[in-house]
Amino acid sequence: MDRQISLKFLLAATLTVVTGIAAAADPLVSWNEGAARSAIVDFVQRITDENSPDFVPVSERIATFDNDGTLWVEHPMYTQLAFALDRVRELASQHPEWKTTQPFQAVLENDLNALAAAGEKGLLELVMASHAGMSTADFRAIVINWFNTARHPRFKRPYTELTYQPMRELLWYLRANGFKTYITSGGGIEFMRPMTEEVYGIPPEQVIGSSIKTKYQLVDGKPVLMRLPEINFIDDKAGKPVGINQFIGRRPIASFGNSDGDRQMLEWTAAGEGPRLMMLVLHDDVDREYAYGPANGLAKTPFGTFSESTMDEAKKNGWVVISMKNDWNQIFSAEN
Amino acid sequence: MDRQISLKFLLAATLTVVTGIAAAADPLVSWNEGAARSAIVDFVQRITDENSPDFVPVSERIATFDNDGTLWVEHPMYTQLAFALDRVRELASQHPEWKTTQPFQAVLENDLNALAAAGEKGLLELVMASHAGMSTADFRAIVINWFNTARHPRFKRPYTELTYQPMRELLWYLRANGFKTYITSGGGIEFMRPMTEEVYGIPPEQVIGSSIKTKYQLVDGKPVLMRLPEINFIDDKAGKPVGINQFIGRRPIASFGNSDGDRQMLEWTAAGEGPRLMMLVLHDDVDREYAYGPANGLAKTPFGTFSESTMDEAKKNGWVVISMKNDWNQIFSAEN
């Protein structure tokens, strides 16, 4: 081994160890001192202190996390939409009719205006064409392959490295304090599950999300679950408390989101008896990530809208708003 | 205290302690020696032995259990049907039209022939009338109250005491060996959850079942989930693998059922790679519980049918059939 490289390697290894020790000492090392960090630490101390009137038994320590924009990047578009567009491009040779059929034509021609004009109905058609018609096992393999090869257009990294390091620390911190952590996302449950355990430490049975219907079939005598082009459940907005109740059957005591789609989840969490923690991530860091609202005068966006009225509800109810710019000294897990 | 009673009490307490010690020594004390018991113990030893080629890591140790007829009594009718009939009787004064409307009239007149004639559609009407139209919190209170007061017509015990002691031992034995145990029942998820933790040690988030739709609403500014008279999901037959995939996202390595409704769950479990355990409880003990099939020449029944063709599939595939009569030296938990 070249001596200079060897020294460099040793130095890097030492730094990794030192960083590791620092992380052990402070589980929330990527969080700056401030109201957001204090709200987390105070809440956890109160509910884990057996002598506190706010003590919560371990079985009731349920925390739910939105995914897109709360745990990982959702701009310039939802990661799953990027996946759907890539799938449509890949399948196009089997569908010559897509060249002249919207919304597929828009995807193949990279015509974002035509894609926008196709609206929600158009997006649904793209999802059905790209997410249905195969077994759950085949879909899983497709998703894993995509995560291994796709790169974010701005950060040139795998999407799984564009998860927010402070939120990952929060997940581990809560679990170290007896919490069961769940994802409750508008995104597809089968799109998330192949990566949540490795990236967030969240096993598949703690992932709640939108889904299409599946059908049990015997293929060559072997049972498979075929994915059908039919919506089963939309886990967004008023669907989030419905999904939480269906999957968990208990009310969370802490919930984390970033957009209008998370309001009802936070309301549902807040309405329970006893101590509660509701937090919303505000994307106000155009340099290190993105800045969008339109709350606080930030730019409008179709992906992860944080409206003025959600901000009003947060202020009125004491929900804690996390400023990416001020509260986080590191954004992405990739920087580790 | 009367001296005789006091001695009796002491004797009973001593016996309880002795039984407790015996149970600690043999976690499956209610199981007689035989093929069923051996199949369980051999399987668990193989998959927990790190030096065995059949070793399964803890995260993959998922076991799914049907409820009606597998974990608790389902005759003379499903417990939830008894609940629905009681609810209809209780609500009848608010519905004078039920006196002359089927299937309600049949319930109020105890006319089992007319009830049977109403068929599946009639049963669905009874369920909707008795299970919907209130919040999830109110329904939970109704269910808990019913469990506290209802008694089984033959055994004169609360239904929660008519759970099968050998199966409860099996649940605890599997969990002591790193398994996560799930219920996967055709019964209602919200009907089971109020009692599964206490009776089976299974928390609400590990209960999968049939469900009706719920809707998030603000009532006097407070969020509630209202139960709607609309089927959401039927967790039976081919629905069981669908429900397992949706809620757990992993394939079980062990599954336990007792009827035709469990076949697809066992097929789905069996079709995975590596060691598997599939078992079916056969109700062949007319003295201590009930005897029905029609497999093995037992009586036909509309509740928990175990058909000849299911028996054939079990034999062909090496699924283990548990004989209540021969394999269990105790039936109900109530006898403890």
pLDDT tens-digit map of A9-25: 444 555 454 455 444 68
Q: Report the residue of A180, A227, A245, A255 to disrupt the B interface, i.e. the one with the largest count of B CBs within 10 Å.
A: A245
**pLDDT exceeds 80 at position A245:** yes
Tokens of A93: 């040779």
**pLDDT exceeds 80 at position B10:** no
Q: Cβ–Cβ of B271/A204 closer than 8 Å?
A: no
Q: Mean per-residue pLDDT for B66-85?
A: 96
pLDDT of residue B116: 83
Pairing of strands A254-257, A180-188: unpaired
Q: Cβ–Cβ of B249/A205 closer than 8 Å?
A: yes
| CB-CB neighbours of B152 under 10 Å | 19
Residues of B in contact with A208 (CB under 8 A): none
**pLDDT exceeds 70 at position B218:** yes
Greatest distance between any 2 Cα atoms in chain A: 68
Q: Where are the beta strands (DSSP E) in A220-285?
A: 222-233, 254-257, 277-282
Share of chain B above pLDDT 90, in %: 87
Q: Are A73 and A281 in contact (CB under 8 A)?
A: no
pLDDT of residue A2: 44
- What span, in angstroms and rounded, lies between the C-alpha atoms of B250 and B244? 8
**pLDDT exceeds 80 at position B280:** yes
B150-167, pLDDT tens digit by residue?
A: 999 999 999 999 999 999
Residues of A in contact with B268 (CB under 8 A): 216, 223
Q: Report the residue of A202, A206, A208, A246 to disrupt the B interface, i.e. the one with the largest count of B CBs within 10 Å.
A: A246
The reported pTM is 0.91
The residue in chain B having the minimum alpha-carbon distance to the alpha carbon of residue A214 is B242
Minimal CA separation from B24 to chain A, in Å: 25
Q: Report the residue of A60, A196, A205, A248 to disrupt the B interface, i.e. the one with the largest count of B CBs within 10 Å.
A: A205
The residue in chain A having the minimum alpha-carbon distance to the alpha carbon of residue B204 is A249
Q: Cβ–Cβ of A205/B248 closer than 8 Å?
A: yes
Angstrom CA distances, B7 to B21, B191, B272, B336, stand at 21, 41, 56, 19
B332 backbone dihedrals φ, ψ, rounded to 5°: -100, 150
Among A59, A204, A214, the residue with its CB nearest the CB of B250 is: A204
B236-273, pLDDT tens digit by residue?
A: 999 999 999 999 999 999 999 999 999 999 999 999 99
Class of residue A11 by CB neighbours under 10 A (exposed 0-12, middle 13-18, buried 19+): exposed
Which residue has better confidence, B18 or A321? A321
- What span, in angstroms and rounded, lies between the C-alpha atoms of A240 and A243? 5
Model ipTM? Answer: 0.90
The residue in chain B having the minimum alpha-carbon distance to the alpha carbon of residue A191 is B249
**pLDDT exceeds 60 at position A219:** yes
Q: Are A64 and A255 in contact (CB under 8 A)?
A: yes
